[in-house]
Amino acid sequence: MTLVLDFCLIGVLIVGIWLFHRPAEAKYGNLTAAAALACAMGLVIYRYGIMHPFVVVICLLVGGVIGIWVARKITMIQIPAMVAFQNGAGGIAAFFLSFVELMRGAGQMGAINEMSGLVNLAVGSLTFSGSMVAAGKLAGVLKQTPTILTNHTRLVQANLGIVILLMLIAFFLPGTAAVVFYLIIFALSIGFGILFSMRVGGADMPVLISFLNATTGLAAALCGMIIENQLLIACGATVAASGSILTHMMCRAMNRSLYHVFIPEKAPEKPVSTMDELPENNLFSTGGQMTEPEQTIHEEMSEPEKETPDADPLKTAVHQVQTADTVVIVPGYGMAVAQAQFEVIELTRLLMDMGKQVIFAIHPVAGRMPGHMNVLLAEAGVDYDMLKEMDEVNPTFAGTDLCLVIGACDVVNPAAMETDGSPISGMPILNAHEAKQVICCNLDDKPGYSGVENALYQNSNTLMLLGNAKQTLGQLLEALTETPAAVQEKLTAQDETAGKEASAAPPMEKAVNRLMSGEKIIIIPGYGMAQAQAQFQVKELADLLESAGKQVSFAIHPVAGRMPGHMNVLLAEAEVDYDKLIDMDEINPEFSQTDVALVFGACDVVNPSAIHVEGTPISGMPILNAHEAKTIVVCNYDTQPGYSGVGNTLYDDPKTILLMGDAADTARELTAAIQKKR
């Protein structure tokens, strides 16, 4: 029975952790895991009892009040420091437990229990001191750059060697005689934690945080081994394993081993910039002059569009934003420091209202802890689907009109690829330099925490808007909202161009061109597809578009077809991945960012009359917002009304291309035309 209860709680904990893999479910995962741990604590107390209940209750109350007070006071920018502090608290708690158990069970403990206790004296202590140093750096209390002592590596190695030797000696000594060794192990381990953490800084801080998270879990598991508690072993091992995996991912993102994170091959050579060093009256400036060798390198990396410098960089930035169709935003620690995430979201909404396609590029080590940018942007309410990881977004930079860098430096520094021997050499970066235009909204043009000059700033397609990111974005927003006429003029020009294109080419050719030039495509199936048994041809077309690098998904209206789930069944028969079938509520916000909405046999469920016309059989019915896409390709049998009898105004939209006829035949023709064009 004891094991059954333990495994049940462990199972609930694992379920909670599993829920973390989807941002929308993460908060439920957090609550589930917390409930499992609370139950585990209650179970342990039930089994072993409490010797001094008043002391325990008072400690719980004091700790609980302090925890609630800290949680309410902490801001999002302080989260990394708080995470580091919590790791340290776990480490020192593990040390005290191990110390007490070793003292209490001197000479009576099993060999594994005693060795676990000795190891935990060191692990708990180094976790505590290393975490406190990390928290101090992240909070700005300590110098944030790496501090390297003379013979630093040898000091670390000697310290570690002596700690291991002392643990072996203490293992064979009687309990009372070993106490002195326990205390020496504690002192040396504290020093070891300080030594290895003080030489880590800047972009490597997320690696340090995830590593300390793993050692905290290890310390908890060792505590479980000392007191022979399966729950504590399992929970601690889970934290240690997840922290280790996260550490590996962070190291891979930095393209270096954990050993070289703690013992760099080469120390940073240049100091970093600080907020205090910000010169006055430097809100806006253009990039600096290039030296000859750097210029050659940057011209080889990209061939940016030359543009005549404007006397006012802000006006140039506004013009570039207005003329861009695709925008990638790269957030960094500077955005967090300036607390500019809300202005970033406001700008994003404005850009989307202007008809631009906007996504965020997230570097794995951006910020000061894993997922730092994700947390900040989630706080501001950004749609999580807009956040793209480095491997996913990097291939798209070359086709991006504008990259907007906000407070990021090392993670977009091309020197990481072009220069050997620097602290960031070999680190994968976001390829912002490949975009047609780049606007950097950074505090200054000094190096980031790595100390390496950012070659991106010197590119001729880079515009520097220097200063506090929050103020810079505020001025950019103000300038953009003051020039709606210019925006409208551009949109009108685009509509006229599209209109001329529409009247010049056959519908099939126009549809193929739009599908080939688009990046995001949503397919809308309807009853006409079912009647034509076109699901297999539609699947073939979708696969072809995906093989061409397009993002393809299917929008499912709940009443499409003649029974609930009709479209799902048909597409499942054609072996369409179920994850690509998106329900109406989830996909409707995406249509405004979609290049092509491809309708196959659907009518009433995409008829805007349901929204705009009252008194019809479909008035008020929610529809799929295909009309918001940049282009709509309708592959229906004819232009007659659907079963509602209401004429479909989508057919009259200037953005709509009509391909009338049997849906299966149309899908085959589109597939053949695209294959021929490729």
pLDDT greater than 70 at residue 591: yes
- Rounded to whole angstroms, what are the CA distances from 10 to 2, 17, 654? 12, 11, 58
Residue 610 inside a domain? The answer is yes
> What SS3 class is residue 414?
coil
**Does residue 651 share a domain with residue 576?**
yes
Query: Would you give the DSSP letter of residue 588?
Result: G
Q: Are 562 and 525 in contact (CB under 8 A)?
A: no
Question: Which among 469, 474, 401, 476 has a CA at the least distance from the CA of 432?
Answer: 401
More confident residue, 339 or 634: 634
Phi and psi of 599, rounded to 5°?
-95, 125
pLDDT of residue 254: 67
**Does residue 140 share a domain with residue 236?**
yes
More confident residue, 160 or 175: 160
pLDDT of residue 191: 93
Query: Would you give the DSSP letter of residue 322?
Result: H
Question: Which among 242, 218, 224 has a CA at the least distance from the CA of 33?
Answer: 242
Residue 386 inside a domain? The answer is yes
Give the total residue count for the chain: 678
User: Is residue 370 exposed (0-12), middle (13-18) or buried (19+ Cβ within 10 Å)?
Assistant: buried
642 confidence band (pLDDT: 50, 70, 90): confident
**Does residue 540 share a domain with residue 428?**
no
497 confidence band (pLDDT: 50, 70, 90): low
**Does residue 608 share a domain with residue 528?**
yes
Active-site residue identified among 410, 444, 445, 662: 410
* 410 is known as an active-site residue: yes
Instruction: Provide the domain limits for residue 238.
Output: 79-262
Provide CB contacts within 8 A for 63, sequence distance 6+.
Answer: none
Find the CATH number of the domain harbouring 327: 3.40.50.1220
**Does residue 464 share a domain with residue 549?**
no
Question: Which among 374, 342, 361 has a CA at the least distance from the CA of 80?
Answer: 374
SS3 string of 267-292?
Answer: CCCCCCCCHHHCCCCCCCCCCCCCCH
554 confidence band (pLDDT: 50, 70, 90): very high
Residue 499 tokens read as 């209109």
**Does residue 548 share a domain with residue 460?**
no
Q: Which residues pair with 528 in a beta bridge?
A: none
- Rounded to whole angstroms, what are the CA distances from 580 to 236, 335, 522, 583, 667? 37, 33, 10, 10, 19
**Does residue 225 share a domain with residue 183?**
yes
Residue 394: other Cβ atoms inside 10 A: 17
**Does residue 336 share a domain with residue 461?**
yes
Residue 224: other Cβ atoms inside 10 A: 19
Mean pLDDT of 135-144: 81
404 confidence band (pLDDT: 50, 70, 90): very high
Mean pLDDT across the chain: 80
**Does residue 355 share a domain with residue 452?**
yes
Mean pLDDT of 60-66: 88
**Does residue 466 share a domain with residue 416?**
yes
The pLDDT tens digits of the residues spanning 242-271 come to 888 888 877 776 667 788 777 766 544 444
**pTM of the complete model beyond 0.75:** no
- Cα-only R_g, the chain: 30
218 confidence band (pLDDT: 50, 70, 90): very high
**Does residue 348 share a domain with residue 207?**
no
486 confidence band (pLDDT: 50, 70, 90): low
